[in-house]
A and B are shown apart, each in its own frame.
Chain A
Amino acid sequence: MRIISAIEITNAVERLCIEANYIIAPDMENGIEQAIGDEKSPTGREILRQLLQNASVAREKSIPLCQDTGMAVVFADIGQDLHIEGGEMTRAINEGIRRGYRRGYLRDSIVSDPLNRVNTGDNTPSVIHYDIVEGDHLKLVLMSKGFGSENTSALKMLKPSDGTEGVLDFVTETVSKAGPDPCPPIIVGVGLGGTMEKAALLAKKSLLRKIGVHNTDPEICILEDRLLRRINCLGIGPGGLGGTVTALAVNIEIFPTHIAGLPVAVNIGCHSTRHAEAIL
């Protein structure tokens, strides 16, 4: 059994907050660069160039990529042979968020109550998804999830008879309705199957996938490609001002489901879809 201390978790989360918000993931940056070649609209190409400039300014001058530094979502995969001492894990993660958002000059975007809406002043709490896995390590993935894109996400419990076409229609319709609001070019995360909350979680997790990586199931891979083509035919384009690159990727994750159901969740990520990870 391996032992790590809670303070190591706090330190790692603090660092991940800053990294995710200042440094765009290389695959996202490459994706935008490639999109300049694919985009037919001159305005669209100009917006893509500005997004690359924005990424450079953020990295070089330590300014967050976007003012919406998001609600922190943490995926914590805990090896079953790992022991954590010196503090409670959830508290350690939230302390890391508190420190990271302060030290990184990131915006406090969390209100303590969805109806009374008083800012918590330190961007906590975060949304944490724990998973017990093999081994004796802890994998932490931090996502700073902006709500421009989060607000355009949707979930629907389809009927089994709706099938593939039903899924294609719902995902396309969700992206179409979102239009310019989620800051295109977007990443479309799709969770298929499971229960209501499982589908949503699959969709969120799929946003972490690198651009250019597809589902290993050939049938799902083809579905991703079909959806990407359909979405890029909507004409929304970079910044929503019209164009041929609305999405950089469609990532579908699936899970077994009930004989009566076909849950579909669509979680949309913006052109920066910020995340960073550490293994302790």
Chain B
Amino acid sequence: MEYRIRTPLDEYTAGMLRAGDVVYISGTVFGARDAAHKKMSDLIASGCDLPFDIRGQVIYYVGPCPARAGMVIGSAGPTTSSRMDIYAPRLIRMGLRGMIGKGLRSSEVKDAMKCCKAVYFAAVGGAGALLAERISAQSIIAFPELGPEALRKLTLVEFPTVVAIDSIGTDIYEKGRELYHCEG
């Protein structure tokens, strides 16, 4: 199936999406990768508020290139999601509804996704120039000292993704691989 959806995501929308669906995402998402996740995790551990209300939101695992004059953002494709696996279950249990990235996720992340109805979207890794054209605004909302790893607010316009893992735990990476596996 093909869908055009807007963020934030409600439980119904997240629950309806299935692994393999092509989804064009529009609206606000939050850009964060390793260092910003560590900072957010420290805030949570200290009982402090996150820089944004995470309920219903989508995090895009990205650390973009600097923007050239007259452009919104530089190259901005997904980074490898598994490095965020240690932080993601906690955020999902706090209400994070979606993640955009590339690559495999741990069983802990999948369990949290099933329990809280969250979705993991895959964007094409290494297509940063193409994907930058689907981002219409960006601003740094926290941790500016992290430079390219600062926490960002991004506005997406029909940002192309595929549902990689849905809220019932089906994983397109596993399914796709089984389908095309042969005896070498």
Question: A residues touching B (Cβ–Cβ < 8 Å)?
Answer: 40-41, 43-44, 47, 50-51, 53-55, 57-58, 61-69, 105-109, 117, 119, 121, 146, 148, 151, 172, 179-181, 183, 229-237, 239-244, 270-272
Contact = CB atoms under 8 A, between A and B. Distances in A.
A107 B80 contact: no
A172 B65 CA distance: 33
Contacts of B76: 67
Contacts of B133: 57
A201 to B, nearest CB: 24
B27 interface: no
Interface in B110-141: 122, 124-130, 132-133
A130 B168 CA distance: 53
Interface stretch (B4-12, B89-97, B170-178): B170-178
A47 B75 CA distance: 18
B173 A179 contact: yes
14 contacts: A54-B128, A64-B75, A105-B66, A108-B148, A109-B148, A117-B35, A119-B147, A148-B79, A180-B103, A181-B104, A234-B181, A234-B184, A237-B180, A240-B103
Given A107-B63, A108-B147, A179-B173, A54 B184 contact: no
Nearest to B146: A119
A63 B35 contact: no
Contacts of A40: 180
Interface of B: 35, 62-68, 71, 74-77, 79-80, 82, 102-104, 122, 124-130, 132-133, 146-149, 160, 162, 164, 172-173, 175-184
Interface centre among A47, A64, A230, A235 (most CB of B within 10 A): A64
Given A50-B124, A119-B148, A239-B124, A181 B103 contact: yes
A183 B35 CA distance: 22
B39 to A, nearest CB: 12
B173 A105 contact: no
Contacts of B124: 47, 50-51, 54, 239
When A and B form their complex, which 5 residue pairs have the shortest distance between CB atoms, in order from nearest? A242-B176, A233-B184, A235-B181, A230-B184, A235-B180
Interface centre among A40, A183, A239 (most CB of B within 10 A): A239
A148 B176 CA distance: 20
A108 B132 CA distance: 17
A179 B122 contact: no
Contact of B129 (A54, A181, A243): A54
A112 to B, nearest CB: 12
Contacts of B182: 233, 235, 244
Nearest to B180: A235
Contacts of B128: 54, 63-68
A117 B129 CA distance: 27
A33 to B, nearest CB: 16
Interface centre among A55, A117, A236, A240 (most CB of B within 10 A): A240
B127 A180 contact: no
A66 B74 contact: no
A109 B63 CA distance: 9
Contacts of B65: 63-64, 67, 69, 105-107
